[in-house]
Structure 1
Amino acid sequence: MKHLCSAFSMQQVISVWVRDPRIQKNDFWHAYIDYEICLHTDSVCFTKKISRVRRRYSEFVWLRQKLQANSLLMVHLPELPPKNPFFSLNNARQINNRMKGLQKFLEQVLQNPLLLSDSCLHLFLQSQLSMHMIEACAAGRTHYSVTQAVQRCGLRRFHSEEDLQNNLKFSCDSDSDSSKGRDSEHRIKPLAASSPDLMGTS
């Protein structure tokens, strides 16, 4: 598969969008924003040709660090939008700028054949696994494979192997909205009216 990715990635289409920011509340005092990542492709590098997942900024930071480590510094990775200590969940301009920066980051990552062979990238883009479980799955420390995690994604994030095993008997359509079942989420339209005045490091 790595050779196929290297040979065909430049000829095939990989389109990615980062959109639909939503406020997720852990509790009254703690909230963050996550974003929907939509991927459409005809590339042989991807098990799924259409997928949607939701990820937050700190998970993008984790992904960049992991890709850098896995590539053994052979690749100069694009930068993420900078972390802003004054990032506000009520500031639509800040959110929009961050969202554009995250999309640009993914677009540049997906142009690199070496990075396309990284299992962590595929699990980040096309599974509901948490970062901890992505590491375990990519390292072969789970009973399910990377392909199984991508193909049998659930409508919620899996934090343990038992979670995913319990869900493997159910398959989900690749176009399903991974945000279903999140009772605490709020769409940011209009932003100021949908949430209290919260500051988030997201």
Structure 2
Amino acid sequence: MSEENDNAEDQQVISVWVRDPRIQKNDFWHAYIDYEICLHSNSVYFTKKISIVRRRYSEFVWLRQKLQANSQLMLKLPELPPKNPFFNLNNAQQITERMKGLQKFLEQAVQSPVLLSDSCLHLFLQSQLSTSKMEACAAGRTRYTVAQAVQCRGLRRFHSEEDLTKNLSTSCDSDSDSQGPKLQIKALAINKAASTPSLNLMGTNQEEILSCLCGST
């Protein structure tokens, strides 16, 4: 019996990509870069098997701080690429190196059963919530659950709990139940090397295969 369980765990796959950097402008003087996080998995840790969200570097910093606090120093967390005071939004090499570092961080994080049990990681990877909303949701201070926030698709940021609650009935992604194992297997079969992110600061169209499989944000 234990051998069957070991085989089932060995067959579980969690693939995560950090790709498609885009410059986002708050106003004329302030801008930042966010990155697309695409996740494919058949793991029991994820009820939503395919997802895409966009996150910026400061959100990665928030995630690591929350994971460190919640794990109570039980394990050594993977490191983020260091914050560079001279980071240039127009420097392709700097952006590529940061993107690789962010992907390495996530790849290591999703290999830890302790971290995979943390709601903050799931909200970061698969919800559209801001850091303040993720923190409130993980602490049970919202009217919607972690599972509801993860399943909901639509707006990049919800301005209030009412916005999210209203969208739950119309924008929820039925994912694994409706798309079935065939789509999951197809997604998991994508060659990871072939999907290595290319630098795209102008926000051009994503590859058709990821658009078809993962949807859009």
Q: Secondary structure at the match of 1:51?
A: strand
- As a proportion of its length, which structure holds more helix? 2
Contact 1:129–1:159 (CA under 8 A) maintained in structure 2: no
Q: How does 1:49-198 map to 2 (within 5 A)?
A: 49-173=49-173, 188-189=201-202
Deviation at 1:86, TM superposition (A): 0.4
| 1:20 counterpart residue number | 20
Q: 1:18-65 deviations in whole A, cap 9, x for unaligned?
A: 000000000000000000000000001001100000000000000000
From the superposition, tell whether residues 74 and 159 of structure 1 become closer, same or farther in structure 2 (CA, over 3 Å): farther
Query: Structure 1 regions of 5+ residues with no counterpart?
Result: 1-6, 176-186, 191-202
What count of residue pairs does the alignment treat as equivalent?
174
User: 2:79, 2:117 → 1: CA distance?
Assistant: 20
User: 1:44, 1:130 → 2: CA distance?
Assistant: 25
Deviation at 1:9, TM superposition (A): 5.5
User: 1:30, 1:150 → 2: CA distance?
Assistant: 30
Q: 1:114-152 deviations in whole A, cap 9, x for unaligned?
A: 100000000000000011111111111111111111111
Contact 1:132–1:159 (CA under 8 A) maintained in structure 2: no
Q: 1:55-107 deviations in whole A, cap 9, x for unaligned?
A: 00000000000000000010100100000000000000000000000000000
From the superposition, tell whether residues 129 and 94 of structure 1 become closer, same or farther in structure 2 (CA, over 3 Å): same
Contact 2:23–2:202 (CA under 8 A) maintained in structure 1: no
User: 2:132, 2:153 → 1: CA distance?
Assistant: 16
Identity %: 78
From the superposition, tell whether residues 119 and 18 of structure 1 become closer, same or farther in structure 2 (CA, over 3 Å): same
**TM-score when scaled to structure 1?**
0.81
From the superposition, tell whether residues 47 and 104 of structure 1 become closer, same or farther in structure 2 (CA, over 3 Å): same
User: 2:10, 2:72 → 1: CA distance?
Assistant: 22
Deviation at 1:165, TM superposition (A): 1.5
From the superposition, tell whether residues 117 and 84 of structure 1 become closer, same or farther in structure 2 (CA, over 3 Å): same
From the superposition, tell whether residues 52 and 66 of structure 1 become closer, same or farther in structure 2 (CA, over 3 Å): same
Deviation at 1:169, TM superposition (A): 2.3
Q: Does 1:37 align with 2:37?
A: yes
Root-mean-square deviation (CA, aligned residues, Å) is 2.1
Q: Secondary structure at the match of 1:60?
A: helix
Contact 1:38–1:52 (CA under 8 A) maintained in structure 2: yes
Q: Secondary structure at the match of 1:168?
A: helix
From the superposition, tell whether residues 116 and 9 of structure 1 become closer, same or farther in structure 2 (CA, over 3 Å): farther
Q: 1:146-201 deviations in whole A, cap 9, x for unaligned?
A: 111111132321242122122222225569xxxxxxxxxxx5159xxxxxxxxxxx
Query: Structure 2 regions of 5+ residues with no counterpart?
Result: 1-6, 180-199, 204-217
What is the identity, as a one-letter code, of the residue corresponding to 2:77?
A: L
